Structure 1
Amino acid sequence: MLQLFVVAAGAHLLTSDLLTKKAPESTASAEPPPVPVVTAGPVLVSGGNGPLPAKGTLTGALTKALGDPALGKRVGGAVLDVQTGGVIFAGDAETGITPASTTKVVTSVAALASLGPDARLSTRVVRGATANSIVLVGGGDPTLAGPKPLAGPVYPVQASLPVLARRTAKALKAAGITKVSVTYDDSLYTGPRVPPSWKPNYIPDGEAAPVTALMVDEGRVTPGVRQRVADPSRTAYRVFTTLLPKYGVAVSGGGATRGRAQAGAQEIARVDSAPVYALVERALTLSDNDLAEALARQVALKEGLPASFDGGAAAVRKVLARLGVTQGVQVFDGSGLSPDNRIAPASLARLVALAASPANPHLRSVISGMPIAGFTGTLGHRFTKNQSVYGLVRAKTGTLNGVNTLTGVTTTREGRLVAFAFMADDVPPGWGKAEAALDRLAARVAAS
């Protein structure tokens, strides 16, 4: 029998603060916080590839399990062989179902395929129109840390606004400048900051911040809390201008001024985010809505489309088409907060299989970022009645009102690596029952 084991890279340590303070995917889900975890990036490793499970037996078991009343009347599922891409099980697998946060898998695959795993998001300061003016230019990095970061090690390492202020001041003083006027440029992103498909409570409840190209601490009032600021760009500007004097450069002028940096303006200083592969791991492990929206917009920019909700959705579809996934994915945001999103289980499982395939090492972070059953992220508190598969199921969860989804990878009893997607979007009331039903489906695949 094939043996599986978890490899935990020391560089991937993640503080429990980030996870225990992570908001539920939807306030209406009333989901308890995930338990503290040890790592964001362990990798499920297989030592070989066993025989395929018996289709008839698995089909019968999964068909019966999909009929669990806890999942409601709109349910679909798919199981694919990672090695060949062949279908092992399909139950209403081509029906578009509301994916909730499993949308982040789609966004992450597109980001890695389009941007590449080593790309970074840069926040810069450039020369303004006069010698004593500068412009703070947002590059779309929502993980940019402010002056009060969370205590302890955080994965991935974040770019820092205080570091940017210090580097800026050092460069200015070297040029003999000790007083400047400051404007900010967040024009990299276009269109509405909040899409019409989002529910009105999302921003007030702290599910996400208004999406802008310049923000600090993901637009939170303070790190680790749910509450978001009304204008992330203006807030980041104000933080920056309070930091400069601490490093010896005074700031002239009154309130925040929004503008645009001149084309080809000289760069004074910059800080870079963690590479995209690490941002993808964070987005999936923490189900980070702000980061997922930023990644979708970065895909739009790379694909030559407007960095908006519509542009991001169109760019994601464009990239998926290059990967051979031309149907079954209709998204309106990058995070899955939109209840209008529809993804077919077969398409979602296929994307997971592509990411897990040895032929696509550049997509591997989609797998390494998925929570691990019983250990990390939004699966840290799950599978309590299926502990035999702790560490053997790696999957992304999705939760909205009436929606529960689960997609990921596992190995069968004989060691075959498979991808799965189980989705339900007409879930009756009763917290936790649908999640437990989905966990049983994944555990059944692992036991096949």
Structure 2
Amino acid sequence: MLTTLAVLQVLTIVIGVYAMTTEFSLSALTSGSSPTKPTASPAEGSPPVPVVTSGPVLAQLSVKSGDGPLPTKGTLTRQLTSALGDKALGSRVGAVVIDTVTGEQLFATNPDMSVTPASTTKIVTCAAALTSLGPDTRLSTRAVQGDKPGTVVLVGGGDPLLAGPSARQSDYPKQASLATLASRTAAKLKAQGVRKITLSYDSSLFTGTPKAPGWKPNYIVPDGEVAPVYALTMDEGRQDPRFRAPRVPNPPQYAAAAFAKLLTKQGITVGRSVRAAEAQAGAPELGRVDSAPLYALVEHTLTRSDNDMAEALMRHVAIKEGQPASFDGGAKAVLAVLQRLGVAQNVALSDGSGLSIRNRISPNALAKTLAMSGSANHPALHAIASGMPIAGFSGTLGNGRRFTERDAKDQVGLVRAKTGTLNNVNTLAGMATTKDGRLVTFAFMADQVPSTAEPVLDRLAAIVSRS
């Protein structure tokens, strides 16, 4: 029987061939449907997918496992050292390549240096969420009976992908629908003989400030990189779900107002005043909708570099680990889980998405976490491997400007990695199968980049893949 690593490699091959005609993601094969067009983190755009040839992909069809012979260390070291000397990387660079079979470092330059990780932060956030919560956990949005007859409370469950009335449902992951919740709630109310209500909303599951330390003011308005973090949010706080910006200043109130209109369409009269109010413990449930399972949310978070979902996942880890569901509590909780996994050294967090310039993660921590995601010893983490963008085809590696240079484009379809981009920060952490069939993970990180180092990072990953 093929190992999990072998399955992932075969899937990469199939995807590489198929993607010559269509944009495709590994999560589509592992979950039965295809994700939507990627959303970028800062400076990570999404132009059309490039057309590529199939030669390099077909060349890997003989790979049957991840334990082929190790690449020649001398050659790998010489090539990576030369590429790391590129001035585009700036003066602070950390790099590591790890053999997933033995855990041995095949190459290292400042592997334990704490570097600003940007969106590669999502790797450790997702690892903590899968470990703490379990891959089958779902996030629920509910409507419950209020403390008086004829009152209803909309209770946020920390699912930012909750689809509003004008949202176009994504193929993957399947989103919970506010319209469905309104339909179920209205049916229950009518069965009770209730046709007129007063509506309130409860967003108390998450606590603390809705904006993280280290976020630039323009991230929410006007850039729309992320919404204020609340437990009740629809369409990730977007005013129009078709566009990244603008984000609404009060997502709970916005969602509750939409819910009121949906109830009205279902024949329920809703009072004009819709205010915040906490639901009573054990209040009878009138309706609920559930998100996709956590493994699908993780794949989505990594493939699309979804900042909003990453922040929600961090807070859910906080709740599970007994910490306040805030940025500070979330950071402590994620670090506690990483400690149990043995990858917390040289990791400091202020948020879960990587937008904060205060985050620090070492290349070693990222590469080790990725190695666990393909290990039979950590089956809960497999969604990290399957959620990695694929070079030239999906997510932030399928944006038409990655792996297009001559020294990297021959590895299109063969590298799976998470990107990270902030001002003066470029990072890339992922996995690849070498030419002889050895599965390795890598992390290349630079946080004093003069302009952009993306082509250099692509070149480094390509060197590893063809070694």
Smaller-chain TM-score bracket: over 0.9
Matches within 5 A, 1:181-200: 181-200=198-217
Shift of 1:391: 1.2
Q: Distance in 1 between matches of 2:46 and 2:242?
A: 13
State the SS of the aligned residue for 2:189.
Answer: helix
d(CA) in 2 for partners of 1:286, 1:160: 20
Alpha-carbon offset, residue 387 of structure 1: 2.5
- 1:25: which partner in 2? 41
The within-5 A match list for 1:167-316 is 167-204=184-221, 205-225=223-243, 226-252=245-271, 254-316=272-334
Q: Which residue of 2 aligns with 1:411?
A: 433
Amino acid at match of 2:101: Q
Which residue of the partner structure matches residue 66 of structure 1? Answer: 84
Query: How much has 1:344 moved relative to structure 2?
Result: 0.6
1:114 alignment partner, one of 132, 136, 139: 132
Would you say the 8 A contact 2:69–2:436 is kept in 1? yes
C-alpha distance in 2 between matches for 1:36 and 1:262 = 50
Aligned to 1:11: 32
Which letter does structure 1 place at the counterpart of 2:281?
A: A
Shift of 1:286: 0.5
Kept in 2, the 8 Å contact 1:6–1:391? The answer is no
Residue in structure 2 matched with residue 79 of structure 1 by the alignment: 97
Long gaps (5+) in structure 1: 38-43
The one-letter amino acid paired with 2:434 is: T
Residue 350 of structure 1 corresponds to which residue in structure 2? Answer: 368
Residue 183 (structure 2) pairs with residue 161 (structure 1): no
1:12 counterpart letter in structure 2: S
Per-residue Cα deviation, 1:361-397 (whole angstroms, up to 9, x for no partner): 2101101111000100110121112222111100000
**Secondary structure of residue in 1 paired with 2:314:** helix
SS across alignment from 1:222: coil
> 2: CA distance between counterparts of 1:447 and 1:281?
26
- The 1-side partners of 2:156 and 2:47 are apart by 32
Whole-angstrom distance in 2 between the partners of 1:298 and 1:78 = 30
Secondary structure of the equivalent of 1:242? Answer: helix
Q: Is 1:97 the equivalent of 2:115?
A: yes
Secondary structure at the counterpart of residue 444 of structure 2: strand
- After superposition, give the CA deviation of every residue in 1:281-329 in whole Å (9 maximum; x if it has no partner): 1100110000000000000011111000001100000001111123121
Q: How far is the alpha carbon of 1:36 from its aligned partner? A: 5.3
* Residue 255 of structure 1, CA deviation: 2.8
Q: Distance in 2 between matches of 1:424 and 1:325?
A: 20
Aligned residue in 2 for 1:322: 340
Q: Distance in 2 between matches of 1:47 and 1:256?
A: 59
- Matched letter for residue 371 of structure 1: P
Equivalent-residue separation in structure 2 for 1:34 and 1:398 (angstroms): 17
Contact 1:34 1:377 in 2 (8 A): no
> In the alignment, which of 427, 432, 437 is matched to residue 449 of structure 2?
427
Alpha-carbon distance in structure 2 between the residues aligned to 1:278 and 1:288: 13
Matches within 5 A, 1:342-421: 342-380=360-398, 381=400, 382-385=402-405, 386-421=408-443
- Unmatched segments (≥5 aa) in structure 2: 1-5, 16-25, 51-59
Q: 1:35 aligns with which of 32, 48, 55?
A: 48
CA contact (8 A) 2:203 2:232 kept: yes
**Aligned equivalents of 1:405 and 1:396: distance in 2?**
8
Q: Is the 8 A contact 2:125 2:310 kept in 1?
A: yes
Match of 2:20 in 1: none
Distance 1:117 1:6 in 2: 25
What RMSD over aligned residues (CA atoms) do the two structures have, in Å? 1.8
| Paired residue secondary structure (1:123) | strand
TM-score (norm 2): 0.89
Same amino acid, percent of matched pairs: 57
How far apart, in 1, do the equivalents of 2:257 and 2:328 lie? 30
Distance in 2, matches of 1:154 and 1:84, equals 38
Tell me the distance in 2 between the aligned counterparts of 1:6 and 1:290.
31
Deviates more, 1:382-391 or 1:159-168: 382-391
Conservation of the 8 A alpha-carbon contact between 1:34 and 1:379: no
Q: Distance in 2 between matches of 1:130 and 1:111?
A: 37
**Structure 1 residue ranges, 4+ long, deviating more than 6 angstroms after superposition:** none
How far off is 1:154 after superposition?
A: 2.3
- State the Cα distance separating 1:59 from its structure 2 match: 1.4
Q: Aligned to 1:365, what secondary structure does the other structure show? A: helix
Tell me if structure 1 keeps the 8 A contact 2:213–2:358: no
Q: Which residue of 1 aligns with 2:3?
A: none
- Offset at residue 211 of structure 1 (A): 0.2
> CA contact under 8 A between 2:248 and 2:254: conserved in structure 1?
yes
Residue equivalent to 1:41 = none
- 1:441 corresponds to which residue? 460
TM-score, L = length of structure 1:
0.93
SS in 2 for 1:399: strand
Higher mean C-alpha deviation, range 197-206 or range 97-106: 197-206
On the 8 A contact 1:141/1:294 being kept in 2, the answer is: yes
TM-superposed deviation, 1:34: 4.2
Q: How big is the shift at 1:62?
A: 1.0
SS of equivalent residue, structure 2 residue 442: strand
Report the Cα distance in structure 2 between the residues aligned to 1:97 and 1:261, rounded to whole angstroms.
Answer: 42
